[in-house]
Structure formats: C-alpha cells, structure tokens
Amino acid sequence: MKTKNSTKKKLAAFALPALLLSFGFYGMILWTGCGVNSGSVLVLGLMWVPAVSALFSKLMVDHSIRGMGWRIHAQSLPCLGIAYLLPLVLCGVVYGLAWSTGIGTLGEFSFSQTAVFATAGVVINCLAAMGEEIGWRGFLLTELRQLMPVRQASAVIGVVWFLYH
C-alpha cells in the first residue's frame, strides 16, 4: 500500500537526478552548440532523463519498478496502431500532393526508400519520446495522483514539462 510519505520520498528521489541530469545535458548542449533541434545524442539523453530519474526513484524507494504503467491494455492497441499510422498517412498525403503537382520532388531517393526512411523516423522518434513518457506519465503522474486530484496532477506535470522544455 502506498503512503503519502513514500510518495513524497519517491518524488524527492526523482527530482534531484532529474534536475542534475537535465542541467548537465542542457549545459553540454549549450557548450557544444549542437542545439536541441539538431538530433544529437545529447538531445536523446535529455529526453531519457525523466525515465532514468523515475527508474532511480522507484528502485531507491520501492526496490522495484512495478506500478509505472508498463502494461499495454488490449483496448489501447487500436489507439497505438492509429498513433503509428496516422503520421505516416498524413505525411503521405502532404508529400504525395507535393510530388504529384511538381511542387516537391523525391530528389535522389525512390518512393520505397522514402517510405523506409519515414517508417524508421516514426520508430526512432517513438523510442526517443518513450523516455519522457515513462518519466512524466508512467511515474510522475502516477505518484502525484497519490497526493492530489488528477486535474491538479496533470496541471503540475504540464508546468514541469513546460519548464523542462
């Protein structure tokens, strides 16, 4: 059974590494000048800070990583399929119109190569974003809901995420 004291310990154990690691990655990004939109490994590391901090917190306080929203429920599978396919379909429509009207070209790539790159891009970005999802939704939302109503917890996460970005 979760107690408020245990939840507060986990939140404190989450906040310290999250702050230190975030400042470290932001510092390295600024120092190297790579920028957060350059797709560097530093940005990938920054995106995984919430997950690493969450795993650290759960292991330090609970000695387990249970209860972080790992399960994929059967009813969520259609939503996951839509979330995967919708960006590909929308990009296909936009780029298909551009290519068919002559506004844009495939350049040196064939259509099949472009489709492979698009699919790989979706998968790579999903894996990168997973670090934030594990930390913010899987851990932080779960823990904050022990201390406050869902709307308040969501608002807190919104502010934290805003500051993080």
Q: Which DSSP helix (H) or strand (E) runs through 27?
A: helix 4-32
What pLDDT does residue 51 have? 95
> Contact, 147 vs 2, CB < 8 A?
no
pTM above 0.85, yes or no: no
Mean per-residue pLDDT, 138-142: 90
Mean per-residue pLDDT, 14-23: 94
Mean pLDDT of the chain: 86
pLDDT tens, position by position, 53-95: 999 999 999 888 887 767 777 888 898 889 878 887 898 899 8
Q: What letter represents residue 104's amino acid? A: G
* Residue ranges of domains in the chain: 4-164
